[in-house]
Each structure stands twice: as structure tokens, then as C-alpha cells.
């Protein structure tokens, strides 16, 4: 496995070098809107400590990330009236990972609405803010 790259986009977000639309954060995790969403309200949850992916994260880190993912999922379902939630996590290139910092996708879902393809196209900031604000308002 390759070493952790401290210049990956999520590490740079954590250092304040790149902006993000923050949903919530605590001592161990940060949740924010995915700028290339595969569905309305698509969020990401990352640990604040470096970890390339699930394969090199410790149990405490994984527990913190999943607790925040659940909190965001519950708020997104409530705020957006979602029928369900898809939680995705990819490991290494062969597993579909693109950004090599552990992250979990939390994607609200509605019956009959497929996920959008990952095209690399960024969503409009005002759309991301609309979903972010709704999810934040519904947090416990």
C-alpha cells in the first residue's frame, strides 16, 4: 500500500487551505458537502487524523467516522424527506477510491431516482449551500 499523501484535497481542507461547505465537526471528524454530488444532499465524512483509507485506520477512527456519518444521515433523511440513505466507502484505486484520505459518502436517496454518474462536474455553490443549510438545521 502507498503511504498517506498529506497534500490530498481532504488534508488540505482540514488545514484550511481549501474551502468546504461544513455540515458539522467534532474533535475527531468533519462532515461537509460533496462538490461533485451523485445525489441531492450528498455529504462526505472524514477523520481529522491522517488515514489513507479503511485498510489503515484504527477502530477508534472508524467508530468516530461512522458515528458522524449516522448523525448526518439521520439529519439528511429528516431535512430532505429522503426515502433512504446510501453509505459508500472505497479503498485503493482498484476499489474505486479517488481521494486517498479515508472518507464516507452519505447520499440521500428517493424511490425511483438513480444516483447521478460521477462526471467530475462541480455543483453550483448555491445548491450545495441550500442542502447544507437544510441538513444543519435538522442535526440533533
- Residues tagged active-site: 103
Give the span between the Cα atoms of 30 and 26, in whole angstroms: 7
Residue by residue, DSSP assigns 14-68 as HTTSS---EEEE-SSEEEEE-SS-SSTT-EEEEESS--SSGGG--HHHHHHHHHH
Residue count of the chain, please give it: 140
* Main-chain phi, psi angles of 87, to 5 degrees: -115, 125
Q: Within a 10 A sphere around the Cβ of 26, how many other Cβ atoms?
A: 12
What element of type H or E holds 10? Answer: helix 9-14
Amino acid at each position: 500500500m502507498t503511504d498517506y499523501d498529506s497534500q490530498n484535497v481532504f488534508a488540505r481542507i482540514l488545514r484550511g487551505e481549501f474551502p468546504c461547505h461544513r455540515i458539522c465537526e467534532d474533535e475527531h471528524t468533519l462532515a461537509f458537502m460533496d462538490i461533485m454530488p451523485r445525489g441531492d444532499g450528498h455529504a462526505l465524512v472524514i477523520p481529522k487524523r491522517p488515514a489513507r483509507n479503511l485498510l489503515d485506520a484504527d477502530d477508534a477512527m472508524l467508530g468516530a467516522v461512522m458515528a458522524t456519518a449516522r448523525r448526518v444521515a439521520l439529519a439528511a433523511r429528516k431535512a430532505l424527506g429522503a426515502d433512504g440513505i446510501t453509505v459508500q466507502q472505497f479503498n485503493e484505486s482498484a476499489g474505486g477510491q479517488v481521494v486517498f484520505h479515508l472518507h464516507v459518502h452519505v447520499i440521500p436517496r428517493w424511490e425511483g431516482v438513480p444516483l447521478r454518474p460521477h462526471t467530475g462536474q462541480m455543483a453550483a455553490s448555491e445548491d450545495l449551500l441550500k442542502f447544507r443549510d437544510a441538513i444543519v438545521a435538522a442535526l440533533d
